[in-house]
Structures are given as C-alpha cells and as structure tokens.
Amino acid sequence: MRAQSILIGLVLAGMIAFSGCTTGGQTSPSVYGGLTDAGFRIPPVPIYKVDQKFHRQTVPYATDEEPGTIIVDTGAKFLYYVLGDGQALRYGIGVGKAGFEWHGTAHVARKREWPDWSAPSAMIVRERNRGHIIPAHMDAGLMNPLGARALYLFNEKGDTGYRLHGSPEWWSIGKAVSAGCIRLMNQDIIDLYDRAAIGTKVIVM
C-alpha cells in the first residue's frame, strides 16, 4: 500500500512538472522552448537571460475588474490577464519609448495569427529623417514587427493604432523600446491570444 502511495505521488509530481506551471505559480522555463506554429519555426528564448519577474506566472492581483480583463501596467512593464479570485496571469512586456506612450481603455476588436504589417506613413518619414529606411509593408514571418500574433485595440473612436503583439526580440522585454505598441515574447502572445476573446476589455495604465 505504501509503495502504491509513493507511485501515485510520483505520477502527480510528474503531471505538475509537465503542465507548464509549478505549484508556486511560476511558469516552467520549458514553455519558452522552440516550437513550430503555422509552418513557422519560432526559436527558443534563452529565458535564463530574462529577469525572472518577466516570466509568465500566476500572481496575487486585487482588482474589481471582471475575469478575462487585460490590464497593462506600462510603468512596471507587466501585462495582467485577470483570472478572478484575487489572481492574475502576469506577462513581461516591452512598452512605448518616450513620446510614444498611450494610456486609456479599449477592447480587442480583431485578432490575427501571423499578421502582416504596414508601416504608418508618419513612421516611414520619421525613420527616413533618422537615416533609416523601413519597408512600407511586411508579410507574415519571424521578422515581422507584429510577431506570431496580434490583438488590435479599438475604443469609441475606432482603431487606436495600438496592438498587443509578439516579438522575437526577447531582450526588449522589460524596456521602453517600441513605437507605442505592447510587445510580448512570441510564446507569451500565443498563450494570451488563446485566452483573450474578441471584445476583451483592455486597460492601459
């Protein structure tokens, strides 16, 4: 009987190990491994080089917002997906650099897997003045600025122009580097994309 109890315990421990999360809420580093998605090979993230606080994890989070709400804390560089019961799933993010910040309330109006990307005309001109030539359009792919997934944010005035999206630039997580959009590691945006429905409320602080 004792041997059977030990065996059951080992099986349960193995199930926890392979589920992606530990009992403490910290996501296993294995979720940042390489994967093939829609024919694209997403490379692994050397997650040991990313500050542990920016790893995907379940954390205590007190809010009056409904479960399923997305709350973006641009100052702390965290995105919270509200789970309810005082908890949220927290992701590390990269945010807009000085002069490109955006704050407000919006909702997810569109979702795209491996989206293409068109550069705003103002960005093309701005980068040209800095001596950088950027393409007006990029098809879906590993080097596309929107990465593996994009959630498009709209408010009462329509398209805000801001997105929650993936990025291969894992080293930019936790920094203010973008032209205003909120970026996540590709493995994280895939996870968030699967959780967030059209109409999801998004609060950017």
Q: Which residues are known to be catalytic? A: 165, 181
**Assigned token pair, 34:** 């390489």
Which long-range CB contacts under 8 A does 121-130 form with residues at least 24 apart? Answer: 123/179
CA 96, distance to chain mean position in Å, is 14
Residue whose entry in the numeric block shows the structure tokens 């995907």: 56
Pairwise CA distance, residues 30 & 54, whole Å:
15
Pairwise CA distance, residues 60 & 65, whole Å:
14
Quote the DSSP letter at residue 167. Answer: E
Q: How many CB atoms lie within 10 A of CB 46?
A: 11
Look at phi and psi of residue 76 and say left if phi exceeds 0, alpha if psi is from -120 to 50, else beta: alpha
